[in-house]
Structure 1
Amino acid sequence: MTEVIKINETPIFPENLLSHLRTYQMLPQLLRELVIDHAIAQIECSPEEIETAKRQYLTQNRLTDPKRIQGWLNHNRLNQEEFEKIAVRSYKLKKFQQETWGAKIESYFLQRKRDLDQVVYSLLRTKDNNTATELYFRLQNNEASFEALAQTYSEGPEAQTRGIVGPVPVTTPHEKIAKMLVSSEVGQLWPPVRVGEWSIIVRLEKLISAQLDDATRQKLLNELFSKWLEEQIQKITKIEPLNSETSEVA
């Protein structure tokens, strides 16, 4: 049975959908999903895996009781069979990622580890160079705590956290700050450095070394998959007029 969308009893015909997708900027997402379908088409799931897929999908989306599940189905206008297809598709995608890049994750992790490491650091910034220099010497001589000076003198949002920033990926701060942090020992206090309009003082409080746990492994799989997916979208998708010969062959 062919279905048609109606808005206030006005039908949206299939031949107009492409135009709507372009107008609403949804076409890239559709192409992405179609390429994924093409990639996972040959992946099989056992009955046990199908049940696992459904349980995982419900858990990930916090659908913990029948009433909530039914509300989610109604909101998305899905039936049970369609829900199962969505859950299994998500499971197949993870299998595809693992089968394609799983063996490369450890080496990729080593390449990316520096970017995945996190830091906690103290930051004090002021637009006045002289003030920054004075505060630095007070810190160096233990005349005041970093927390107290940051809360009183820092002119950025870190004043609200007594100068503490993080934990954040080491690549998150300004490039100049990041270079200081990755070359620091814990507790090392840096003299004022000019970053844009600011004179900043930085001290590394903690370095959190990235570990290849399940969450990091999935993050890296997603990264590799996303790079591959963008290449595939450019490589194998096209939009062209449907002529009469194509229609007859189809």
Structure 2
Amino acid sequence: MSTPLFISPEDIIHCIKLSCQVPDLVEAIARQKIIVDAAKEAGIKVAESELQQEGDRLRFAKKLVKAADTLAWLKKHHLSVEDFEELVHKDILAKKLAFHLFADKVEAFFYQNKLNYFGAVTYEIIFDDRDVALELFYALQEGEVSFQEIAREYILNPEIRRVGGYQGIKRRGEFRPEIAAAVFAATPPEILKPITTPKGVYLILVEEIIQPELDERSRSNILQELFSDWLKQQIEKQEILIDLEGDKNSQPVQPLTQPA
């Protein structure tokens, strides 16, 4: 019978330090402390019904259908039922604080940044050789070959090749600036003249331009963006002390983000 392998809290902390995860964990802890303090100051509370609803949503998202599934998941992550309730409570607190701080600012932010919320449905093939890309572009213009035929021949990634280079719906900010300028000036369906970038030469089919709309998904994304920016600013203002060795006289850590 093999000897059990014992892992102590000190082992875990040491491993986190050696894997260079401390800064990320410090930021996550700082974010949570800021949320709790700000929510308390704003008088935000979490009702039992909200805990139940959010707990059910979280279990559904993690496919924890049965009670046994939930218990197995908790055991895997070394969490108690009370820990799970605390996790759910913190999630709700963050959402309610975000809504409290920024719900009335979402619409103005959307219209001030409307250009960033245009979307495009595109297909793309990346070449190393601009001459090859140009030759194929002109062949497309003459109807000698289809975009899908080129994709099948020149895309190496099998999954992307199977869908003909389909990129899904991407917002303006998800494109390289030089590509975004061409994509959002297109009249779909249109194949763009090859665009040279440091990553290669892009041959792009613009299938559709999607007009920006302030729907529930956009509202949620903007709310989260505003809240994340606010949290980042709050963290930058803090002097953060870390006590990894049980020393209450710990020195201030370096700022999580360096000033520009």
* TM-score bin (small chain): 0.7 to 0.9
In the other structure, the counterpart of 1:202 is 204
| Structure 1 residue 236, shift from structure 2 partner | 3.4
Change (3 A) 1:74 1:133: closer
- Judge conservation of contact 2:36–2:93 (CA < 8 Å) in 1: no
Change (3 A) 1:242 1:67: closer
- Judge conservation of contact 2:155–2:165 (CA < 8 Å) in 1: no
1:31 and 1:142 map into 2 onto residues whose CA distance is 58
1:215 and 1:137 map into 2 onto residues whose CA distance is 40
Higher gyration radius (CA): 1
Change (3 A) 1:126 1:60: closer
Over residues 165-221 of structure 1, what are the superposed CA-to-partner deviations in whole Å (9 max), with x where a residue is unaligned? 333333333322211001111122333343347444333111233433333322222
Change (3 A) 1:78 1:189: closer
Change (3 A) 1:70 1:188: same
Change (3 A) 1:127 1:236: closer
In the other structure, the counterpart of 1:59 is 60
In the other structure, the counterpart of 1:28 is 27
In the other structure, the counterpart of 1:3 is none
2:63 and 2:227 map into 1 onto residues whose CA distance is 25
1:171 match: secondary structure: helix
- Judge conservation of contact 1:21–1:27 (CA < 8 Å) in 2: no
**Number of aligned residue pairs:** 233
1:8 and 1:197 map into 2 onto residues whose CA distance is 47
Matches within 5 A, 1:91-170: 91-152=92-153, 154=154, 157=157, 161-170=163-172
2:190 match: secondary structure: coil
2:37 match: secondary structure: helix
- Judge conservation of contact 1:123–1:201 (CA < 8 Å) in 2: yes
Question: TM-score, length-normalised on structure 2?
Answer: 0.73
Task: Identify unmatched segments of 5+ residues in structure 1.
Answer: 1-6, 244-250
2:236 match: secondary structure: helix
- Judge conservation of contact 1:125–1:156 (CA < 8 Å) in 2: no
| Structure 1 residue 10, shift from structure 2 partner | 6.3
Over residues 88-113 of structure 1, what are the superposed CA-to-partner deviations in whole Å (9 max), with x where a residue is unaligned? 22112211111110111112223444
- Judge conservation of contact 1:31–1:237 (CA < 8 Å) in 2: no
Change (3 A) 1:142 1:88: same
- Judge conservation of contact 1:121–1:205 (CA < 8 Å) in 2: yes
Overall identity of the aligned pairs, in %: 23
Q: Which moved more, 1:118-127 or 1:99-108?
A: 118-127
In the other structure, the counterpart of 2:84 is 83
Structure 1 stretches of 4+ moved >6 Å: none
In the other structure, the counterpart of 2:256 is none
Question: TM-score, length-normalised on structure 1?
Answer: 0.75
